Structure 1
């Protein structure tokens, strides 16, 4: 009977250590996932920014090329605008398989996927 208070004190210490170690683990896990998510978000943003610049220059190139073909600068730029509107419409219609699903898979893999071995 004399050991019961000591056992409760030991149990309290063990439980405190257990919860502290679990808290540290979950803090580290959340930090790691936050960093991986932030890096993926930055890389995705950089990719889309560079893709937008490429589309801008391809648009100007297409407009100049169509200007030579159509013999009218206005028609060249209007035709390029129409091509981009068609492209926007196609992307809007196919946004789920082209944009949403791959991004969801990417971020799911980052947040919940297995760690890759380096």
Structure 2
């Protein structure tokens, strides 16, 4: 009977230690996943920004080429704008397989992976 308070004290100490270690683990795990998501978003933003610059210059090149081909500068730029509108419509129609699913898969891998890949 005299051991019961002592056992409760030990049990309390063990439980406190267990919860503290779990808390530290989840803090570290959450921090790691936050960093991995931040890096993925940064790389994706950088990729899209560079792709936009490439599209801008390709658009100007296409407009000048079409202007020379059609003999009218306005038609060249309008043709390039039409090409971009068609691309926008295609991307909108195919947004699930082209944009949503890859992002969902990327964030699922980041959030639910057991170990980071080196």
TM-score (norm 1): 0.97
Which structure has more relative contact order (CA 8 Å, sep 6+)? It is 1
- Alignment partner, residue 95 of structure 1: 95
Partner deviation per Cα, 1:52-87 (whole Å, 9 max, x = no partner): 100000000000000000000000000000000000
Structure 2 residue 52 is matched with structure 1 residue 52 = yes
- Alignment partner, residue 17 of structure 1: 17
For structure 2, list consecutive stretches of 5 or more residues without a partner in the other structure: none
Structure 2 residue 34 is matched with structure 1 residue 39 = no
Partner deviation per Cα, 1:91-112 (whole Å, 9 max, x = no partner): 0000100111011111111111
Cα distance in structure 1, aligned partners of 2:37 and 2:59:
32
Q: How many residues align?
A: 118
User: Aligned Cα RMSD in Å?
Assistant: 0.9
What secondary structure sits across from 1:105 in the alignment?
helix
**Moved segments of 4+, more than 6 Å:** none
Cα distance in structure 2, aligned partners of 1:22 and 1:114:
16
- Alignment partner, residue 27 of structure 1: 27
Cα distance in structure 1, aligned partners of 2:80 and 2:64:
9
Cα distance in structure 1, aligned partners of 2:114 and 2:76:
50
For structure 1, list consecutive stretches of 5 or more residues without a partner in the other structure: none
Displacement of 1:117 = 4.5
Q: Write the mapping of 1:102-117 to structure 2, written as runs, cut at 5 A.
A: 102-117=102-117
